[in-house]
Structure formats: structure tokens, C-alpha cells
Amino acid sequence: MGAALVQRLRAQGWNVGAVARRREMLQELQHKDAGRAGGRLVVRAHDAARAHEVPEVFEDLVRELGGLDLIVYAAGIMPKVGPQEYDTEKDLDQLAVNVGGCIAWCNAAARLFHTQRSGSIVGISSIAGDRGRKGNPVYGTTKAAMNTYLEALRNRLGEYGVHVLTIKPGFVDTDMTKGLPGLFWLISADRAAELVLKAVRSKATVRYVPKRWWFVGTVIRCIPSFVFRKMNV
Ligand SMILES: NC(=O)c1ccc[n+]([C@@H]2O[C@H](COP(=O)([O-])OP(=O)(O)OC[C@H]3O[C@@H](n4cnc5c(N)ncnc54)[C@H](OP(=O)(O)O)[C@@H]3O)[C@@H](O)[C@H]2O)c1
């Protein structure tokens, strides 16, 4: 989804910074766009779990881009977890990327946007954060943490003209969902990126992507706990 967002923003003329661990994937993204009309693409290889490195990478990117109007935290991992598996290391890895990385990058942007009194912060959370599901307890926990953190940022920064948006996608056809059973209403990463940018433009606060997942989220949140624990959703 991050790559699709980068391509769309570039095509719209924005200078864009793309950050991920795999340098070769970033270079591929650069080559794909070489020669096309649009903004510049600046890439940095970085592991979001290394939160202490974020301030330097962030400042360096902002300098090279000539400023910043929008940050989208789209990094995330969702390892397969067995029904009897309680692997703390695996669980803490998810926390480090999905929550620690999100906080480190969004805090850096929040500081800048507060000072410049403008900017948009977007976190790609998930509908999975709406309830505690038995399938992957910590993935949902990381998304619930993102939701609360982003809400708090929104409440802090609103009065300074800074927009904070929580995105809750349903199923999107990416590496993360490859081979997963039971997918439905699957959309492409490019369609998801289009809907995310539409939500940014409309200054939405929380947006299910596509919007029909709002109904699913609302119903799921209303299911009593004693019923939910018997379900596999
Ligand atoms: N796909 C879905 O159905 C779905 C639904 C709801 C929410 N989401 C959320 O949407 C976001 C994007 O997921 P996706 O579907 O696009 O998955 P994806 O195709 O697996 O992409 C994940 C991205 O995160 C980057 N990443 C992973 N670990 C990282 C780390 N330690 N440091 C820096 N970058 C890292 C990956 O790049 P590198 O591996 O090169 O680092 C990759 O670009 C995630 O937060 C996911 O939880 C996805």
C-alpha cells in the first residue's frame, strides 16, 4: 500500500520520500517511475523497529525533500500465529514495527507540524484493531494502540491546524494477505491508496477503506464478548 501511495503522490506532482527496509525494492520503485512526469522520489532504507534512528532519518529526508506536508505511516507486519502459539519475541516484533515505529515517525512529524502549524499525519491501522480476535492477539493489539495514539495526536494537534487521520482498511491484495483464507471484498493496493488520499483531501478523522467496512466494524464492535469469543472473525 505504501508503494501505491508513493506512486500516486508522485504522479500528482509531489516530491515524495519512501522508507522501507529493502533497498532493492525501493530502487525498483525509483526505476519504475524514472522518466515519468511528476515530483521527485527520495528513498531511504531504514528499519522502523529501530526507533532511535528515526529523528536523524526524518530530518535528513525533510531536508532533501525541502519540507513536509504529509506523512503516512504504512509499515506493518502480521506474522502467522498458530492457535496454541504464545511467542513473546514474535509478538514484541509486531509491537516494535506497528506501534514503536508509528510513534517514532509520527512524533517526529508532530513536532514539525506543530511548529509550522500545518500538515497531515496518517496512520494505516486496521479493522483488526476494533476487537480482540483469537487468531492473532498481538496484531489487533498493535492496531488498537495505533488507533488510541492517533486519536490522542489528533486531539493534541487539532488546535494547531494539524490534521490526523486513522485509516482502517478491510482486506487489501498485498504481500500481507497473500494466501490467506477467507478474504472477501478484496481491493487492490492502488484502489486503497486512492481512497486513503481521498480521505486526506476531505480531512476525515477515521476512515474505513473502503467505506463499507464501517458497517462491518460497527456490527463487530456491538457483538457481546461471550458471543464474539465463539466466532472466528
Ligand atoms: N493488506 C491488508 O489487507 C491490510 C488490512 C488492514 C491493514 N493493513 C495494514 O496496512 C499497512 C500496509 O500493509 P500492506 O498490506 O501494504 O502490507 P505489505 O505489502 O506487507 O507491506 C508492508 C510494508 O511495510 C514495510 N515494513 C515492514 N516492516 C518494516 C520495518 N521493520 N521497517 C520499515 N518498513 C517495514 C515493508 O517494506 P520492507 O519489508 O522492505 O521493510 C512493506 O513496504 C500495514 O500496517 C498493515 O497492517 C493491511
Give the 3-state secondary structure of 157-208. HHHHCEEEEEEEECCEECHHHCCCCCCCCCEEHHHHHHHHHHHHHCCCCEEE
Q: What is the pLDDT of residues 145-183, one digit of tens each?
A: 999 999 999 999 999 999 999 999 999 999 999 999 999
Q: What is the pLDDT of residues 175-215, one digit of tens each?
A: 999 999 999 999 999 999 999 999 999 999 999 999 999 99
- Which of 1, 165, 213 has the most ligand 1 atoms within 8 A of CB, as the residue to mutate? 1
Q: What is the pLDDT of residues 19-41, one digit of tens each?
A: 999 999 999 999 987 888 889 99
Tell whether the model's pLDDT for residue 233 goes beyond 80. Answer: no
State if residue 51 touches ligand 1 by the CB under 6 angstroms criterion. Answer: no
DSSP assignment of 103-120: HHHHHHHHHHHHHHT-EE
State if residue 77 touches ligand 1 by the CB under 6 angstroms criterion. Answer: yes
Mean pLDDT computed over 65-78: 98
CA of 226 from ligand 1 middle (Å) equals 32
What percent of the chain is predicted at pLDDT more than 90? Answer: 96
Structural contact between residues 104 and 145, judged by C-beta atoms closer than 8 angstroms: no
pLDDT of residue 37: 87
CA of 154 from ligand 1 middle (Å) equals 23
Beta strands at 206-209 and 162-169: parallel, antiparallel or unpaired: parallel
State if residue 6 touches ligand 1 by the CB under 6 angstroms criterion. Answer: no
Distance CA 109, CA 71 (A): 7
Q: What is the pLDDT of residues 110-136, one digit of tens each?
A: 999 999 999 999 999 999 999 999 999
pLDDT of residue 91: 98
Mean pLDDT computed over 203-229: 97
Structural contact between residues 208 and 127, judged by C-beta atoms closer than 8 angstroms: yes
Rounded to a whole number of angstroms, the CA Rg of the chain reads 18
CA of 160 from ligand 1 middle (Å) equals 30
Other C-beta atoms closer than 10 Å to the C-beta of 49 total 19
Q: What is the pLDDT of residues 39-62, one digit of tens each?
A: 999 999 999 999 999 999 999 999
Distance CA 34, CA 81 (A): 39
The whole-chain average pLDDT of the chain stands at: 96
Q: Which amino acid is at 135?
A: G
pLDDT of residue 32: 87
